[in-house]
């Protein structure tokens, strides 16, 4: 399988399952140093700012961005151990759509992701983001549970 795999993408939200997915992707990437490993984290700032009262939307966006960067600091430490080419990305948008857009536009060969993220809402088998990704991407998705 990994002979034809050149790019693995890991959507990461700092949940336990995304940490497991990252570990699995690292294990897969170690099998061939030509495999590129991309880790993405997505933050979403709702457009409806009326719920935030007097808070500045730019301050909220900056805070969310900084939180995402902090989460990726731990990821970057793990990735430094790999001989592979690695890259991390902080993206803004609706997580499901943004993840799918990144995967499809960057020609990923494999996605490794957790079955659920940090959302408090639980679905019966898959989280809404992982379910959406499985349905919409053009490559195999390895779901970690």
Kindly report, residue by residue over 62-119, the tens digit of the pLDDT. 999 999 999 999 999 999 999 999 999 999 999 999 999 999 999 999 999 998 765 5
Q: Which CATH number fits domain 2-144: 3.40.50.720, 2.40.50.180, 3.40.50.620, 3.30.1280.10?
A: 3.40.50.620
**pTM of the predicted model, to two decimals?**
0.87
What mean pLDDT is predicted for residues 32-47?
92
Residue 123 is predicted with a pLDDT of 41
How far is it, in rounded angstroms, from Cα 7 to Cα 92? 22
Ramachandran area for residue 123 (φ above 0: left; ψ -120 to 50: alpha; else beta): beta
Contact indicator for 116, 69 with CB cutoff of 8 Å: no
Q: How confident is the model at residue 121 (pLDDT cuts 50, 70, 90)?
A: very low
What mean pLDDT is predicted for residues 57-66?
89
Residue 116 is predicted with a pLDDT of 72
Q: How confident is the model at residue 1 (pLDDT cuts 50, 70, 90)?
A: very low
With a cut of 90, say whether residue 126 has pLDDT above it.
no
Domain definitions of the chain by residue range: 2-144
With a cut of 60, say whether residue 122 has pLDDT above it.
no
- Which neighbouring-strand residues pair with 113? 143
H-only helix segments in 1-145:
16-29, 57-79, 95-105, 128-136
How far is it, in rounded angstroms, from Cα 11 to Cα 62? 20
């Amino acid at each position: 399988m990994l002979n034809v795999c050149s790019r693995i993408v890991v959507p990461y939200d700092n949940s336990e399952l995304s940490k497991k997915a990252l570990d699995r992707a690292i294990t897969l990437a170690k099998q061939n140093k030509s495999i590129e490993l991309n880790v993405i984290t997505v933050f979403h700032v709702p457009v409806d700012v009326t719920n935030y009262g007097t808070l500045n939307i730019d301050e909220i966006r900056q805070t969310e961005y900084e939180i995402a960067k902090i989460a990726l600091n731990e990821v970057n430490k793990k990735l430094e151990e790999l001989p592979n080419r690695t890259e991390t990305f902080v993206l803004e948008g609706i997580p499901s759509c943004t993840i799918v857009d990144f995967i499809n536009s960057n020609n990923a060969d494999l996605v490794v992701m957790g079955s659920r993220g940090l959302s408090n809402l639980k679905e019966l088998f898959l989280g809404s983001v992982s379910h959406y990704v499985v349905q919409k991407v053009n490559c195999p998705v390895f779901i970690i549970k």
